[in-house]
Structure 1
Amino acid sequence: MSSAVLYLAIVAVWAVVLVPMWLRRDTSRPKKTDEITEETPVEEEEEAPPPAPRRRGRAAVIARRRRRTFGLTVLVLATTVVAATGLAPWWTVLPATVLFAAHVALLRVAVRIDAARRRERAAVAAAAARARAERAAAERAAAQQNADVIELDPRPQDEVFDQYADDRRVVGE
C-alpha cells in the first residue's frame, strides 16, 4: 500500500512539472516542408489559424510563478489530506513540502533580483535625465555666449505723449 502511495506522490510531483510544460509547448514552430518542384503536383494547402500570441517579458514570468505556486500549494494540500486520512504515511508530505519551500526561497531571491533591477533602471534613468539636463544647460550657455546683442535707438526720455497738447496733428499732416 505504501509503495503505491509513494508512486502516486512521484507521479503527482512530475505532473506539477510536466503538465504546465505540455500546456505551454510551442505549437507555432514551422514544420519542415519538402521543396516543391515543377513535377510535383501542388495539393490543396490547409490554412491553419494563426497561433495565439504568447506573453513575453515580465507578465509571462509572473504568470509562470503564480501557476507554479498554485500547483505546489495544491500538491502540499493533497499530500497532507492523504497523509491525514491514513492512506499514506506522514513522510509522503515531505517531498511536496520541500518543493514548496524551495520554490518560496527562489521567489524571495527573485524578488530581491527584481528590486535590484528596478533600482538599476531607476539609477540609469536618473543618470540619463541628469545628462540631458546638463546638455541642455550647456547648450543654453553656449547660445547665450554666441548671441548677438542688438542696440536699439533709445527714445528720448523727456518726450511724453500728451493727448491734450495744443499742437496735436492728425496722422498724415
Structure 2
Amino acid sequence: MSSAVLYLAIVAVWAIVLVPMWLRRDTEAGISRLLHKRTEEPAEAEEPAEEPETQEEPPRRRTGRATIIARRRRRTSGLTLLVLTAVAVVTSGLAPWWIILPPTVLLAGHLSLLRVAVGMDTARRRAEAEARALARAKAQEARRAAQTAQTTEPAEIIELPTPEEVFDQYADDRRAVGE
C-alpha cells in the first residue's frame, strides 16, 4: 500500500513540475517553430554541405512582471498543496512519516529562492527609481541653463581705440628699416 502512495506522490510531483512546462512550451510560438522546422527539413537535404546555415531565431516575447508573479504564486500554491497532501496521507496512516520530507524541502527551497528574488526585485526597482530621479534632475538642470541663457543681457560691445597713424605700405614716404 505504501508503494502505491509513493508512486502517487511521484506522479503528483511530476504533474506539478511538468504540466506547466508543457503548457508554456506549447504556445503559439512553439507550434509555429515546430511547423517552421518541418517545412525546412526537405530543403536542407537538397542544399550542398558547404553552404552556411542561416537559421533565424523566432522573436522571444518578454515576460512581464505580472506573468512572473503569477508563475511564482502557482508554484508556491502547488508545493503547498503537495505538502498538505503528504501530511494528510501520513496522518491517515497510508504512508510513513518521511514521505513529508521531499515536498517540505522543495517548498522550503522555493521560499528561500523567493526571498532572494524579492531582494533582487527591490534592488532593481530602487536602481530604476534612482536612474529616473537622476534623469529628471539632469533635465531640470538643462532647462534652468537654457532659461538663464535666454534671460541674460546681451554682451557689451567695446570700441577699440584706433591708432593715430596707420601703416600703409603704399604710402609715398616709404622708409627703409633703420633710416
TM-score using structure 2 length: 0.66
Q: After TM superposition, give the deviation of residue 104 of structure 1 in Å.
A: 0.8
Unaligned runs of 5+ in 1: 35-53, 149-173
Superposed CA offset, 1:98-129 (max 9, x none) = 11111111111111111101100110000001
Q: After TM superposition, give the deviation of residue 147 of structure 1 in Å.
A: 5.4
Distance in 1 between residues matched to 2:80 and 2:26, nearest whole Å:
26
Matches within 5 A, 1:34-53: none
Would you tell me which structure has more helix in proportion to its own residues?
2
Does 1:63 pair with 2:63?
no
**Counterpart code for 1:91:** W
Matches within 5 A, 1:22-101: 22-29=22-29, 30=32, 31-32=35-36, 33=39, 56-101=63-108
Q: Name 2:159's counterpart in structure 1.
A: none
Superposed CA offset, 1:12-69 (max 9, x none) = 11111011112222331321336xxxxxxxxxxxxxxxxxxx8831011011011111
**Counterpart code for 1:63:** A
Counterpart selection for 2:109 from 97, 102, 108: 102
Q: Name 2:2's counterpart in structure 1.
A: 2
SS at match of 2:27: coil
Unaligned runs of 5+ in 2: 41-60, 156-179
Distance in 2 between residues matched to 1:101 and 1:108, nearest whole Å:
11
Superposed CA offset, 1:51-98 (max 9, x none) = xxx883101101101111111111011111001100000100110011
Name the Cα RMSD after superposition: 2.1
SS at match of 1:114: helix
**Counterpart code for 2:128:** R
TM-score using structure 1 length: 0.68
Number of matched residues?
130
**Counterpart code for 1:11:** V
Distance in 1 between residues matched to 2:154 and 2:78, nearest whole Å:
69
Q: After TM superposition, give the deviation of residue 142 of structure 1 in Å.
A: 1.1
Distance in 2 between residues matched to 1:10 and 1:113, nearest whole Å:
32
| Superposed structure 1 runs of 4+ greater than 6 Å apart | none
Distance in 1 between residues matched to 2:108 and 2:12, nearest whole Å:
17
